Amino acid sequence: MGLPEITDLLRLDAEDGIEQQAVGAVVDDAGAVLLLRRPAEDSRGGAWELPSGTVESGEDLMTALRREVTEETGLVVSGVLGYLGAFDYTSDSGKHTRRHTWSVTVTGTDEVDLAEHEAHMWIGAQDDPPVGPEIAVLLHQHFHPAAT
């Protein structure tokens, strides 16, 4: 789990025709990671996911990562441990989107303050996470970096 150059990620996104970038965070607290559940009335309602969101115009990936974690959890990123990878999807607005995901540490993990989700939970490497396949791969890479 290393830290690729942001310029390399941006170049690859441009070469691949990515229309919108998003960021995600595997928030680690002593080996447990944070999952958030979307509100039932939201798109993909009830789904468990990582803190994530789109990069705003003029914003760089690291700034967006820190902003999204704070907006969605009330937590502040204290360190970036490594880059886990990316996956592509079509956004609700129809844009070809790529979500880049990093492992991060945060301050105050006992004070999760949800602004956009209805629930949260901490899971460990031994747990079977209730997430989609793209996020399951990222969690596996976080928990088992030597195996990937």
Which among 73, 65, 68, 61 has a CA at the least distance from the CA of 114?
73
Percent of the residues in the chain that have a pLDDT greater than 70, as a whole number: 97
pTM, 2 dp: 0.91
Count Cβ atoms below 10 Å from residue 58 Cβ, excluding itself.
6
* Whole-number Å distance between alpha carbons of 112 and 74: 6
d(C-alpha 123, C-alpha 49), whole Å:
12
Query: Which domains does the chain carry?
Result: 6-147 (3.90.79.10)
Q: How many CB atoms lie within 10 A of CB 105?
A: 16
Question: Which tens digits make up the pLDDT trace of 41-88?
Answer: 877 778 999 999 999 999 999 999 999 999 999 999 999 999 999 999
The whole-chain average pLDDT of the chain stands at 92
